[in-house]
């Protein structure tokens, strides 16, 4: 038997390949979304605090700051 007479390879399961790709895509998308939005609430609170300071609403800014 030579290389030209070799048996053709059996194709691997298409479903398994797509399932693995789908899982990788979901995990990758989840990781990207986690990295982008992990500080979302803190960033929003800081921007509200700074907006109150810029508008001169110091009492509201102090309440947003929540010291001690």
Structural domain contains residue 6: no
Non-local (6+) Cβ contacts of 52 within 8 A are 58, 60, 61, 64
Q: Is the pTM of this model over 0.75?
A: no
Structural domain contains residue 34: no
Number of H helices, E strands in the chain: 3, 0
Structural domain contains residue 16: no
Residues 54, 38: contact at Cβ < 8 Å? no
List, for residues 11-52, the tens digit of each pLDDT value.
778 888 899 999 999 999 999 999 999 999 999 999 999 999
Task: Using pLDDT thresholds of 50, 70 and 90, give the confidence band for residue 64.
Answer: confident
Structural domain contains residue 48: yes
Q: Cα separation of 68 and 66, whole Å?
A: 7
Structural domain contains residue 63: yes
Structural domain contains residue 52: yes
Structural domain contains residue 47: yes
Quote the number of domains for the chain: 1
The confidence score (pLDDT) of residue 1 equals: 60
Q: What SS3 string covers 30-53? A: HHHHHHHHCCHHHHHHHHHHHHHH
Summarize the confidence of residues 51-59 as an average pLDDT.
Answer: 94
Structural domain contains residue 17: no
Q: Which domain holds residue 64?
A: 39-68
């Amino acid at each position: 038997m030579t290389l030209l007479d070799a048996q053709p390879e059996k194709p691997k399961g298409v479903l398994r390949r797509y399932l693995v790709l789908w899982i990788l895509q979901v995990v990758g998308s989840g990781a990207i979304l986690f990295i982008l939005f992990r500080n979302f609430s803190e960033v929003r609170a800081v921007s509200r605090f700074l907006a109150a300071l810029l508008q001169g609403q110091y009492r509201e800014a102090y309440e947003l700051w929540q010291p001690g």
